[in-house]
């Protein structure tokens, strides 16, 4: 079925085409994921009238993304990236629509269940980065991950900064103001799903497997477990730190008099920092190695925590710098960790391992989102930021262990 792509020239052509399809879908996917990050906690706070559960929305859509990550990985393993990714985006669309309806009828139960489904879009947006690497060579994997992620920046930065205008649009049609970003999310996820379903043909993962079989490539015949474990731990730790601090930032800012537009600006800068560095991060990962970028992630996360700890609560500039560094540290960790997962797996098991890894990332992220509200209500945002920065240093001994295991 895929014999037409076996020549090197045709493989390169398909690789480039696949990247452009993933890039286009990521633009819309980025806009979709920004809604829950920006106003999810505020919406729950308004409906529940409690700060302690403000982290619950993030926990719910992160748990939803965990289930979705497992499902997308399993579907992709059996039927390819196209069906797996399209299914995830469409479920995310249903979740966003559910959030809108839940807020309109003031139903907490429907809100929470819809946020769970909405998480499928987040998981799909992240898993799309793997599709860009299926036809990449070992020396261009970091760059492939970057190209698949970087265009998420357009949607991810635009989304939070559309909080005010989408809110006014929601008001004009009789919906609660904070549902505006979820209207954007429903449209964005739906478009991303349509693009993947109709354009991602032939499927890059299925093609890569066919190429491997027909050319009898055996260079990646065995899994390298230390690399897989290291990649997973790096992504889990960076996700925990990022989710915990990011989730409480809107609450912290509104408590100290910052406007909704200011919250949107800070979260937009943060999400931009999560994805925009991908322009160079992938090339750095390929050139200097995974280990160097893991160290860079650890240091950047620590600096973010320190600045967040000592920033005056009314300083928009300080909180913006802290959240920007948080995004950059997460980016370094995600791309280097993703590259390690790909390095350590074979095409036969890759989709399944990737799905399982993203489940772990999502579960730990959900726990961080849920506990962050409780933690901050018992202490402060500054303490939360400092603890997050310190946790970033866990990456260094793990890196040392994995390096020694790989050499032995």
Q: Nearest-CA neighbor of 235 among 394, 124, 369?
A: 394
Contact, 371 vs 55, CB < 8 A? yes
Domains and CATH numbers, the chain: 3-407 (1.20.1250.20)
Tokens standing for 334? 């995600």
Instruction: Decide: residue 271, CB within 10 A, 0-12 exposed, 13-18 middle, 19+ buried.
Output: buried
Q: Nearest-CA neighbor of 94 among 129, 62, 126, 64?
A: 64
**Sites in the chain below the pLDDT cut of 50:** 1-3, 5, 218-219
- DSSP string covering 80-149: -HHHHHHHHHHHHHHHHHHHHHHHHHT-HHHHHHHHHHHHHHHHHHHHHHHHTTTT--GGGHHHHHHHHH
**Can you give the C-alpha Rg of the chain in angstroms?**
20
Q: How many helices and strands (H and E) does the chain possess?
A: 17, 0
d(CA 45, CA 57): 9
- Which pLDDT score is estimated for 69? 86
Helix (H, G, I), strand (E, B) or coil at 150: helix
Contact, 345 vs 130, CB < 8 A? no
- Which pLDDT score is estimated for 11? 83
């Amino acid at each position: 079925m895929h014999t037409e792509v076996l020549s090197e020239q045709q493989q390169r052509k398909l690789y480039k085409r696949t990247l452009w399809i993933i890039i286009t879908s990521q633009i819309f996917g980025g806009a979709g994921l920004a809604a829950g990050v920006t106003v999810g906690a505020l919406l729950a706070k308004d409906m529940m009238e409690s700060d302690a559960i403000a982290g619950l929305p993030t926990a719910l859509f992160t748990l939803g993304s965990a289930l979705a990550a497992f499902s997308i990985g399993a579907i992709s393993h059996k039927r390819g990236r196209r069906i797996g990714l399209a299914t995830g985006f469409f479920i995310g669309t249903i979740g966003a629509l559910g959030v809108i309806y839940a807020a309109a009828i003031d139903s907490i139960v429907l809100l929470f269940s819809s946020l769970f489904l909405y998480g499928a879009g987040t998981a799909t947006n992240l898993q799309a980065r793997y599709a860009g690497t299926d036809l990449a060579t070992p020396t261009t994997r970091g760059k492939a991950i970057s190209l698949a992620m970087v265009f998420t920046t357009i949607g991810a930065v635009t989304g939070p900064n559309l909080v005010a205008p989408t809110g006014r649009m929601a008001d004009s049609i009789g919906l609660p103001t904070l549902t505006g970003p979820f209207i954007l999310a429903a449209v964005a996820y739906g478009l991303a799903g349509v693009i993947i379903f109709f354009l991602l043909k032939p499927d890059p993962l299925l093609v890569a497997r066919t190429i491997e079989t027909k050319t009898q490539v055996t260079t990646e015949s065995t899994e390298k477990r230390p690399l897989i474990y290291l990649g997973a731990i790096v992504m889990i730790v960076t996700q925990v730190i990022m989710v915990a601090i990011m989730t409480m930032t809107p609450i912290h800012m509104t408590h100290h008099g910052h406007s909704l537009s200011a919250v949107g600006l800070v979260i937009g800068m943060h999400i931009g920092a999560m994805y925009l560095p991908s322009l160079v991060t992938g090339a750095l990962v390929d050139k200097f190695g995974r280990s160097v970028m893991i160290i860079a992630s650890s240091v950047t996360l620590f600096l973010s925590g320190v600045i967040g700890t000592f920033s005056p609560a009314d300083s928009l500039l300080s909180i913006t710098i802290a959240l920007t560094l948080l995004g950059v540290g997460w980016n370094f960790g995600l791309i280097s960790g993703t590259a390690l997962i790909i390095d350590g797996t074979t095409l036969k098991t890759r989709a399944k391992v990737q799905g399982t890894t993203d489940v772990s990332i999502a579960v730990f992220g959900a726990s961080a989102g849920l506990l962050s509200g409780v933690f901050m209500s018992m202490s402060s945002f500054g303490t939360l930021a400092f603890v997050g920065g310190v946790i970033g240093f866990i990456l260094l001994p793990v890196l040392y262990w994995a390096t020694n295991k790989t050499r032995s």
